[in-house]
Each structure stands twice: as structure tokens, then as C-alpha cells.
Chains A and B, each alone.
Chain A
């Protein structure tokens, strides 16, 4: 199972699409590793630089409808090869969310107010998250503040994360 703890990358925008996460021109790559330098290269957001801002980050916190657009699993892979295994958002596009769990990664939706509170308290500060998968709680810490945030993950999604993805799960079961 992957590790869901680490330093947070805040992306304060809704509707971040898969073309922004990994531009179509890199879909000619046939290995995941080759995607590494291009994550979020075309992100349309002021004050974000994919060359410097991804350094040392393991978890993304963002707003609504994250990962909309194309079905490309290259989007979760681009996160994966950069060591980012979890995205927390207000909501996700269906295919992106499924792709994350299918790869044994996590895409967790939290209520709008909670996301807003996290942004207000921690955005701009060096922030870390610890994920307690037994109690279903995130412990968010930064700038002297600490917040415990409960989350839900369905039994099915959890079994995908534990199995390391849908392929092994399905092949053994169907």
C-alpha cells in the first residue's frame, strides 16, 4: 500500500483539467517515468510554477471538479511518479477519481466548508498531512496550527487501495 502522508501542495482553483495536469503532447510516452518532468506544466493559475512548486510535495489539496476532461490515466501516473499519491478536493471528475483508486492511490472528497477552512488556515504555510486509515482522519499541521479532519472512503475504494489497484482485484475475482 502506498504512503498517504506528507507535505501539501495547495492548488487554489476549481475545474483543473487533465490537459493541465499532463498535456496531450506527452501522451506519446509509453512509460510512466517519462511523464515526470511535465506534471502540471500547463496549469493555468497565477503564482504557480511547476518547475519549483512541486518539489518535496506528497499531497494535493484543491477545490471543485478536479481532473475533469480526458480519460487519460497519465494524469494520476504523472502524480504517482512525482511521489504525490493523494488528492483531496471538494469534488472530482468521475474518471479521474476512479483512475486514482484503480492505481491504488487516493482521491478524497471533503465538504466545501472543510476545504475552505483548510485553505484559510493553512494555505501559504508549510503544511503536512498525516492520514490515519484506521480512524479515517487526516491530521493537518502547519504554521503552529493543527486540525483533525474526518473523511470517508468506501469499502470498495479501500479494498482497491489495499490490493494495490483494480487489475489484481478484478483478475482474482472475476
Chain B
């Protein structure tokens, strides 16, 4: 019987099978941020186990609340900072070099096809875009990962989603994943890996694939995963060129993780995007989806462009293409957070930051920012945010606030109109 990508990765990293379908696997990397790691560090210290399994495999960043907003968040940053120094963790990204974890770690070349990665963050599934198995875990799993370099999972069942057809102009990976979540439901992929395949995914950039995989968790998925191909190799080339004689050789090596033709999937779902419209969420659950065209004119108070879902350069380009030469509505507060310093820099060089500022946006430093209502961009009771983030839970961006998830292009058009609107890039089905 053939194997899926996730099964091949699991078999290669097998350590133990303590019972039933539980597999303990070896980890290639453990990622850390300042919200969930301090509790893990403190607990390890209190147990007299303040060690790391391999400092070169641990990557850490301060991204959720940066710069620190108060004494408590300052203390969280300090715990991670002191620990990184104490343990000799070289890949630690502090203020000035920091950005949103799921944007900066891939950008630094820390994710490779076939890798196994955990992090105390549910959107760790993003890194599956590289053909890796990457999963969010809680603090105890994180502690064990830091200490021993292993984690236990159910042997992975996969759902394959074949994305076919021709992407209409003005429709993006974000719209596709929202439509997929609408179809699967918020627990349609619980305990499953979602393998994204088909010509539309093959034609996507790494950025777009990360947007897809990022939201696998919103359907309950353990990890989203894409097949490694030349696009993956191109993205990683500057980090892997010393390991391989040529791009073709790199691709050959990574092809080890391609699924077999007779791999078994629990379910195969075909999605044709040819007539897909830009989509958005309309409630407090990410599977409550409607085409933007059905929500036109609905009220919005704030527009947020950023996050690990849509804070990358392509996202800023799409929003800027819509904003160029326009001003946002007087009643809208526009906030944009480029996800990493290098994305920020690139946006500066391309004149994108100026377009945002001329349009009336507030440009923040790279941070999770408004996404989880912990630092900047918190909503007041009864307010609505049109957001390029991934989660619309009740209270996510502030108690009593409502978040509508959408693509950067739709968010930009909405900012200009002052209410929900399709972008000028979308010309209709």
C-alpha cells in the first residue's frame, strides 16, 4: 500500500509506538514564541530540567506583543530572552529583527521538505506548505520537545483536497481556503492532515501555499501539507545551495516525500475554483462563509492587514494595488502590519508603504498585533473589523468585537468604501 506525504515523514522519524496508533517521532525543529514558551521554561526550571535537546534546532521569536506593552509582557519577553542566552539558542529574533513566527521562520530557511516541527501555537500548520509535518501543540508537548526532541501523535490519516480549474482574477488563496473550511466545517479535519494538491496549488507561490496551510487548523486539521516541488526549491535555494549541486538534485532528494500514486486517503475532495467569488466569514466561526457579494454594504469600523495568514509581501502588493491613488473612508481605522522586517523593507523599496500611508493607513512594526487582540488594534464592544487574519472567534480582537476574515484585496477595497465591498481586481465570475 502506498503512503501519503505525512506517512512518509512519520516513518522516517519513528522513535516508538507506545500503544495503539500513537507514534512518538523525532523532531527536526522546535519553534518558540513569548506567549506559550515562558510557562514551559518556568516549568522545566522548577522540575530541575532546564535543558534543551539541541540548541541549533530550537528557534525563538518575540512576536505577539512587541514592543512589550506592560510589565507582564515585558516579563514574558525577558524569560525567553534570558533562556535563549542561557541555552545558547542562536536563532533568537528579538525586537528590530523580529516578525510573526510563521512568516519569519520559513523566510529564514528553517523549514525543509520532510521536516517534523512543533510549536506552542496552533497555526504551526503553516509550515506544511514546504512538504513538512508541522503541528501546533500545548505547553507540555512543547516542554518535552525542548527537552527531548520528540513528540507523540496519532499516526496521520490524510484528507486530500484537489484544487482544480482556473483562478478568477481577484480571487486568492485566502478565498480558496475559506471556501474549503466552509465545506469541511470547523471540525471536518480533526486529527487529520489536509494535503492540498491539484493544478491550482501547483501554480501557487510559496506565500499562497502558506496562506492555505495556515488555516488547516480552522477545520481542525493537525497540519496542512503541500507537495514539495520546484517552487519550494526556488524559495529555499539560497539556504540549500551548499547542500546540493543543482536545483534538480535538491528536487530529486525532496521527491522522497511525494505521496505514492496508490497512497490511501480517508477522503478526497475536488474543488473547482473557476467560478469562485471572493469569500469572507460572517459569524464567530471560521466555517461561517459567504461570498463577499452577498455582504456588500455591511458596516466595518477597522481594517487590519497582516498576520501569519496574509502579512507577506504578495499580500501587501495585492492590497496596495487596490489602494493606490485612493484614500480610505473617514470612518475607517486602517492598520497594516508587515509580517517581518524583510517584508517591511521590500514593501518600502517597492513604494508599497507609501501607498498605505497616503491612503491613510497606520503602518506598525512586524507583530501579531491586532490578530489576537493582545496589543494594538483591539476593538471596542460592538465594533467590526475586516481582517486578513485567520480567526473570527467571539472576543478574538477584543471583547464584544466582530471579525470578518477576508483576503487583503477585499480588505483594502472595504477600507476605501468604508463598508464591505469586493475589490476592483475582481471582475465578476
Contacts and interface: CB of A to CB of B under 8 A. Distances in A.
A100 to B, nearest CB: 9
A76 B138 CA distance: 10
Contacts of A68: 186-187, 220
A24 B394 contact: no
A93 B187 contact: yes
Contacts of B120: 71-73
A29 B75 CA distance: 10
Interface stretch (A117-125, A135-143, A163-171): A163-171
Nearest to B222: A94
Interface string A56-79: 000000001100111111101000
A130 B141 CA distance: 29
Which residue of A15, A24, A92, A93 has the most chain B CB atoms within 10 A of its CB atom? A24
Which residue of B119, B138, B191 has the most chain A CB atoms within 10 A of its CB atom? B138
Interface string A15-33: 1010110011101111000
Interface string B103-134: 00000000000000001111010000000000
B2 interface: no
Which residue of A23, A44, A159 has the most chain B CB atoms within 10 A of its CB atom? A23
Nearest to B74: A28
A29 B72 contact: yes
B364 interface: no
Contacts of A29: 72
A95 B138 contact: yes
A52 interface: no
B18 interface: yes
Contact of A155 (B19, B148, B187, B190): B19
B15 A174 contact: yes
Interface string B61-82: 0000100001011011001000
A108 to B, nearest CB: 16
B121 A71 contact: yes
Interface stretch (B36-44, B242-250, B311-319): B36-44
Interface string A130-174: 000000000000000000000000111001000001110011011
Contact of B190 (A69, A91, A156): A91
Contacts of B49: 171
Interface size class of B (residues with CB under 8 A): 35 or more
B395 A73 contact: no
B19 to A, nearest CB: 4
Contacts of B22: 154, 156
Given A25-B373, A28-B374, A71-B122, A95 B137 contact: yes
Nearest to B38: A30
A156 B19 contact: yes
Contacts of A24: 372-374, 396
Contacts of B150: 170, 174
Given A102-B138, A156-B20, A20 B393 contact: yes
A88 interface: no
A17 B43 CA distance: 25
6 contacts: A15-B186, A20-B395, A68-B186, A99-B140, A102-B141, A170-B150
Interface of B: 15-16, 18-20, 22, 24, 35-36, 38-39, 42-43, 47, 49, 65, 70, 72-73, 75-76, 79, 119-122, 124, 136-141, 143-144, 147-148, 150, 152, 186-187, 190-191, 220, 222, 284-285, 372-374, 391, 393-396, 399
Interface of A: 15, 17, 19-20, 23-25, 27-30, 42, 44, 64-65, 68-74, 76, 91-96, 98-99, 102-103, 154-156, 159, 165-167, 170-171, 173-174
Chain A to chain B: the 5 pairs with minimum beta-carbon distance, closest first: A99-B138, A73-B138, A102-B140, A73-B139, A156-B19
